[in-house]
């Protein structure tokens, strides 16, 4: 082999190696760029989902407020007028014992219906939350749920929490859902709600002594798992998360965590 042939082969080999290195670098760069684009797209999708969920929950709160106003101003007012008309009619009819008993029975039914209207209205729009804050609203929720058969306790080490109204509303709705589940489905007799604020985190725990449930089976049931999925969706809006320490045949321990700096921009009340 001549010197010129060896030189040509060497140069050709070098060019091929350079081309191979260039191709490897180009492929690596392309894959890295593609990975960044996919990550950016996923982040955009996640942000879009959060915005959709935020809009959904804002719409739910607005609809609840409208229903509460309709019940209070419409149904509540009509019941009050009906009761006054009944009282006037009783005076005109006269004093037969049987007739008087029927009037009293009807009046009691109206009073009970008015009480239920006020209760439903408070559940739809917790006015105590808007006026006095989360702790007062939770204390009211606990007081209403406690009776001769059920004991509900609220534990919080700090008398002031200083959360934004939107975050307080979210935590209240989650506590409301978990408390209702513990009473209606788990048939709990003792329930404790813990609310603790750390420097940049809030933790809400609901612990009960009920019969528990199979988490996977409930979540597979579209209707039964709706409340739990709503909790997860609410927390996704603020990058929070929930841990379900549950099983059939024993009490449940459900823990919610929200990073406060992530929760600040969310507004479900506007």
With contact defined as beta carbons under 8 Å apart, do 168 and 195 qualify?
Answer: no
Q: How far apart are CA 241 and CA 24, in angstroms?
A: 41
Polymer length of the chain: 270
Q: Per-residue pLDDT averaged across 173-202, rounded? A: 91
pLDDT at 48 over 80: no
Beta-carbon count within 10 A of 47 CB:
10
Question: Is 234 found in the same domain as 112?
Answer: no
9 and 109 together in one domain = yes
Boundary-marking domain end, from 106, 125, 144: 125
Does 46 lie in the same domain as 4?
Answer: yes
- Is position 269 within any domain? no
- 183 plus 86 within the same structural domain: no
pLDDT at 257: 93
What residue numbers bound the domain in which 204 lies? Answer: 127-263
Alpha-carbon span 209 to 197, nearest angstrom: 24
pLDDT band, very low/low/confident/very high, at 267 (cuts 50, 70, 90) = very low
* Residue 101 or 169, more confident: 169
Asked if residue 171 and residue 107 are part of one domain, the reply reads no
Mean pLDDT over 217-245 rounds to 85
Q: Report yes or no on whether pTM surpasses 0.85.
A: no
Considering the domain architecture, whether residues 137 and 253 belong to the same structural domain is answered as: yes
Do 61 and 169 meet the contact criterion of CB atoms below 8 Å apart?
yes
Residues 250 and 190 in one domain: yes
**pLDDT tens profile 113-155:** 877 777 777 667 678 888 888 999 999 999 989 998 999 999 9
Which of 125, 144, 177 is at the close of a domain?
125
Same domain, residue pair 138 and 92:
no
Give me the pLDDT at residue 264, please: 46
The domain boundary residue, chosen from 91, 125, 159: 125
């Amino acid at each position: 082999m001549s010197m010129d042939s060896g030189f040509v082969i060497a140069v050709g080999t070098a060019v091929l190696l350079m081309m191979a290195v260039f191709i490897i670098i180009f492929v690596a760069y392309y894959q890295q760029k593609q990975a960044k684009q996919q990550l950016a797209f996923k982040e955009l999708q996640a942000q879009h989902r959060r915005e959709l969920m935020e809009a959904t929950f804002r719409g739910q709160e607005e609809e609840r407020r409208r229903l509460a106003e309709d019940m209070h101003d419409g149904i509540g007012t009509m019941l009050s007028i009906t009761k006054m008309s009944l009282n006037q009619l009783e005076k005109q009819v006269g004093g037969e014992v049987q007739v008087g008993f029927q009037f009293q029975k009807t009046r009691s039914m109206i009073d009970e219906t008015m009480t239920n209207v006020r209760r439903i209205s408070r559940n739809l729009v917790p006015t105590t939350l808007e006026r006095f804050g989360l702790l007062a609203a939770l204390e009211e929720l606990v007081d209403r749920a406690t009776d001769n058969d059920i004991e509900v306790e609220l534990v919080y080490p700090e008398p002031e929490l200083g959360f934004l109204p939107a975050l307080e509303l979210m935590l209240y709705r989650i506590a409301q859902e978990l408390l209702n589940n513990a009473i209606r489905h788990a048939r709990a007799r003792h329930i404790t709600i813990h609310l603790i604020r750390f420097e940049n985190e809030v933790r809400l725990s609901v612990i009960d002594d009920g019969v528990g449930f199979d988490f996977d089976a409930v979540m597979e049931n579209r209707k039964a798992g709706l409340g739990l999925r709503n909790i997860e969706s609410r927390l996704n809006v603020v990058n929070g998360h929930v841990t379900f320490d549950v099983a059939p045949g024993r009490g449940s321990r459900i823990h919610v965590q929200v990073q406060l700096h992530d929760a600040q921009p969310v507004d479900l009340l506007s």
